[in-house]
Structure 1
Amino acid sequence: MLPVQDYIQHFIQIWEQSPDALPNFPKVYTKSEQFSREKNYEHFQKKIKGLQSSKKVKKFRNDPAQSFFPMFKAFLETVFDFEKDHLTLILSDEFKDVSKDFFYKARKFGPELKPENIYQGMRNVWIMNGVQLMAGVPVKITPSVFAYSMIYPYSDNFLDDPNITNEEKKKFSERFNQRLHAVDVSPENFTEEQLFKLVEMFEQEFPRPDFPELYESLYAIQKGQTDSLKMITSTGLSDYEIQCICFEKGGASVLADGYLVAGKLTRQQEQALFGYGVYLQLLDDIQDVKEDSLAFTKTMFSCLPETDLGGFVNKTIHFGRVALEEMRCFSGAQNDDFLDLMNRSIETMIIESVGLNHTWYEKEYLNELEKHSPLHFQFVRDKRTQSKSQRFSLFQKYFDTAGVRDSKVGVEYAGEEVGKNKVNS
């Protein structure tokens, strides 16, 4: 059995040792520097809007290397100060190709899915692509990378649907758990039909007798997801119980990513991936504080008073820096550029999330943290249309599969569509 409880306790100890003081950041921005980057942002936005004619959309789709990626590279350099070594990783042909490949595969598998649902799965693809790089395996959409990333749009949306009763959600989780354990159970709805097909993809790529730990990792993420329902339905959970559920859900998720990429992992690699998942879960809780509070969902973050939120954010950043150091056990993560890119990207999202949810923080904390944002918080809010989940910074929507009408072209900045157009194919 995977020592999940040992990993939880290991990272709880790291959390308790993490200070709540403001971390040292690599850059302090003056107001004039922020205004300069906002002008660059506006310039990029205008260029994207210039691609909205049907003729230019086709050119964009057929030749993104000429039409889009040079602009995107300049955007990341002049707005977010990404370094050349970072951009080499972000804009590599491997990452471009897998994003497009996943989009088309997702549209074929689930034509009923909305673009934002596919984006939800794409976020996990990017995490798994990073694990592929670290593990030294080819960066591509394998059957298991596709299947695991598609589980999120189906299972999360079902469990998050307020129109579905808690009893139905409980039975759904029980049936899905049975299917993960190779029990012959019949799906009772369309969502379950799709999920069971995805599990079959795992089984075909990684036969159960040969990869027992891989399936234990899937059981762990299912248990974590099921336990997380207690944070919605239960009262009287202690802070420690909430923390354990948070760490279990996040850690198990990325641990499963690792197994579905590599097939086999060492205990050291398991622990490192678990910690990475905990860090991403804390990021999610910071990003979704408003939604969690309105839904009365208990998280480590949503239960805190306003005066403690800034300290929690600081503590999360300190925790993440320590946790990501454990990723050096992977040969592909021993390069400082890769770990620096991971940490830089997450910290950028954390700072942005604080600016977007400014009413939850004390003014003094906002003023201090804003100095480390390349954009004024008000500018970020002005450019942001609120969506259900406030996640990931930039996302290119691949569009217009054969025979599909009314597809969209655009680029998302943390959920905001900068350019939008409908195309008849």
Structure 2
Amino acid sequence: MLPVLDYIDHFKQMWELSPDTFPQFHKNYSAEEKLAHERNFDGFQKKLKEQQNVRKVQQVKNDPAKSFFPMFRSFLETVFDFDPGHLEIILSEEFKDVSKDFFYRARALGPELDPEDIYQAMRNVWIMNGLQLMAEKPVKITPSVFAYSMIYPYSDNLLDDPEISKEQKQSFSMRFDRRLRGMLEEPLNHTEKQLFHLIAFFEDEFPRDEFPKVYESLYAIQQGQTNSLKMITQNGLSDDEICSICFEKGGASVLADGYLVAGEMTREQEQALFGYGIYLQLLDDIQDVKEDSLASTKTIFSCLPEKDLGRFVNKTIHFGRMALEEMRCFKGVKSDDFLGLMNRSIEMMIVESVGLNESWYSNDYLEAIEKVSPLHFAYLRKKRTQSKSQRFALFQKYFDMPKSKQMVV
């Protein structure tokens, strides 16, 4: 079996060694620079709105390289200050078709899913595409990339639904675990039917007898998901237990990503991906601290008293920088650009999350970290709902097509 407990211990030690002092960032932004970035953001949103009429959407579909990608490149460059080397990765030819391919496949499999659900799944596709680059594999939607990413909107939404009882969630977890282990299990509802069908995608691409670690990684993520239910259903968990559960859930998730991309990995690569997954889990916990607290879901962050999160955000950033250094064991990580892109993307999301959840931080901390944000926090809060609605409006229209032309999976 995969040495998951060893990886948890390794990264718990790294977490303990990570300082909680304010990190050094690559740049502080003046008020004038922020205002310039905000004008560029407003201009991008205006262009997005223009793209929402039928004629413009058709132009985007017919020639996205001409009408959409240059606009998107300018947005990343002039609003969020991504370096040219980062943009060459994000906007490489390999990445330009995978999102559209995935969307059509997702809608064919699950026409009941909302665009928000598919966008949630697509975030995992992008992670797996990055892992394909690191493993020197073609960047494309393989059966396993598709299936594993589609599991998220089905299983996560079920497990996170407060209307579904603890007993129902535990019963589902047991049936899903049996299906993951190759047993034929009768689905009890549409969600289970879809999930059991998706597991068959793994089995077709990676036969169980030839790729045993692929399935060990899936068992590990299922075990992590099951253990994470303790943070909802049980009181009295120690800080150490909460840390272990959070690390297991996040680390196992990206470990499974890696095996479903590569089929085989070294122990060094396993550990590196486990650490990357923990970093992404910590990011999620920072982003969702308000929701987790209201739902009484225990995480490293939601259990802390208000106004006391700044030093843990600092600790997360230091931890992430150390964890990502272990990714250099992959042959595809040939330059600092790749790790720089990963780290900058995550750190900017952390900084934005602090600005959007200001009540959880001291005024001194907010003032310090806002200096490294390319946008004013007040501007981010003002744009939060508007940006989300416009993002999904474009997302839905950009990928819209007649049902007769949808791809069949």
- Normalised by the length of structure 2, the TM-score is 0.96
The residue identity in structure 2 corresponding to 1:242 is I
The 2-side partners of 1:217 and 1:54 are apart by 44
Instruction: For residue 396 of structure 1, report the CA deviation from its aligned partner.
Output: 4.7
The residue identity in structure 1 corresponding to 2:296 is F
The question of 1:40 aligning with 2:1 is answered no
The 2-side partners of 1:328 and 1:386 are apart by 38
Q: How does 1:4-403 map to 2 (within 5 A)?
A: 4-385=4-385, 396-397=395-396, 398-403=398-403
Structure 1 gaps of 5+ residues are 405-425
Instruction: For residue 102 of structure 1, report the CA deviation from its aligned partner.
Output: 0.4
Instruction: For residue 184 of structure 1, report the CA deviation from its aligned partner.
Output: 1.9
Secondary structure of the residue that 1:94 maps to in structure 2? Answer: helix
Instruction: For residue 19 of structure 1, report the CA deviation from its aligned partner.
Output: 0.3
Q: Deviations over 1:94-130 (max 9, x none)?
A: 1121111100000000000000000110000000001
Which sits farther off after the overlay, 267-276 or 89-98?
89-98
Q: How does 1:407-418 map to 2 (within 5 A)?
A: none
The residue identity in structure 1 corresponding to 2:245 is I
Secondary structure of the residue that 1:218 maps to in structure 2? Answer: helix
Which sits farther off after the overlay, 371-380 or 182-191?
182-191
Which sits farther off after the overlay, 104-113 or 305-314?
305-314
The 2-side partners of 1:238 and 1:325 are apart by 29
Alpha carbons 2:251, 2:276 under 8 Å: kept: yes
Instruction: For residue 386 of structure 1, report the CA deviation from its aligned partner.
Output: 8.8
Instruction: For residue 307 of structure 1, report the CA deviation from its aligned partner.
Output: 3.6
The 2-side partners of 1:341 and 1:265 are apart by 23
Corresponding residue for 2:407? none
Alpha carbons 2:307, 2:359 under 8 Å: kept: no
Alpha carbons 2:115, 2:395 under 8 Å: kept: no
Structure 2 gaps of 5+ residues are 405-409
Instruction: For residue 302 of structure 1, report the CA deviation from its aligned partner.
Output: 0.3
Secondary structure of the residue that 1:227 maps to in structure 2? Answer: helix
The 1-side partners of 2:358 and 2:308 are apart by 14
Instruction: For residue 172 of structure 1, report the CA deviation from its aligned partner.
Output: 0.2
The 1-side partners of 2:69 and 2:315 are apart by 36
Aligned residues: 401
The 2-side partners of 1:202 and 1:343 are apart by 30
The 1-side partners of 2:79 and 2:148 are apart by 33
The residue identity in structure 2 corresponding to 1:328 is R
The 1-side partners of 2:131 and 2:106 are apart by 21
The 2-side partners of 1:129 and 1:93 are apart by 12
**Distance change in 2, residues 1:131/1:39 (3 Å):** same
The 2-side partners of 1:376 and 1:244 are apart by 35
The residue identity in structure 1 corresponding to 2:18 is S
**Distance change in 2, residues 1:259/1:316 (3 Å):** same
What percent identity do the matched residue pairs reach? 69
**Distance change in 2, residues 1:33/1:386 (3 Å):** closer
The 1-side partners of 2:208 and 2:153 are apart by 25
**Distance change in 2, residues 1:85/1:7 (3 Å):** same
Q: Deviations over 1:400-422 (max 9, x none)?
A: 13238xxxxxxxxxxxxxxxxxx
Secondary structure of the residue that 2:332 maps to in structure 1? Answer: helix
**Distance change in 2, residues 1:386/1:219 (3 Å):** farther
The 2-side partners of 1:80 and 1:277 are apart by 24
The residue identity in structure 2 corresponding to 1:3 is P
Secondary structure of the residue that 2:2 maps to in structure 1? Answer: coil
Instruction: For residue 306 of structure 1, report the CA deviation from its aligned partner.
Output: 2.4
The 2-side partners of 1:334 and 1:318 are apart by 22
Alpha carbons 2:308, 2:360 under 8 Å: kept: no
Which sits farther off after the overlay, 147-156 or 47-56?
47-56
- Normalised by the length of structure 1, the TM-score is 0.92
The 2-side partners of 1:257 and 1:53 are apart by 37
Secondary structure of the residue that 2:52 maps to in structure 1? Answer: coil
Secondary structure of the residue that 1:299 maps to in structure 2? Answer: coil
Q: Which has the higher contact order (CA 8 A, sep 6+)?
A: 2
Instruction: For residue 378 of structure 1, report the CA deviation from its aligned partner.
Output: 0.5
The 2-side partners of 1:303 and 1:265 are apart by 35
Secondary structure of the residue that 2:384 maps to in structure 1? Answer: coil
Instruction: For residue 399 of structure 1, report the CA deviation from its aligned partner.
Output: 1.8
The residue identity in structure 1 corresponding to 2:187 is P
Q: Deviations over 1:163-194 (max 9, x none)?
A: 21110110000000000011121111111100
Alpha carbons 2:308, 2:362 under 8 Å: kept: no
The 1-side partners of 2:102 and 2:266 are apart by 28
Instruction: For residue 67 of structure 1, report the CA deviation from its aligned partner.
Output: 1.4
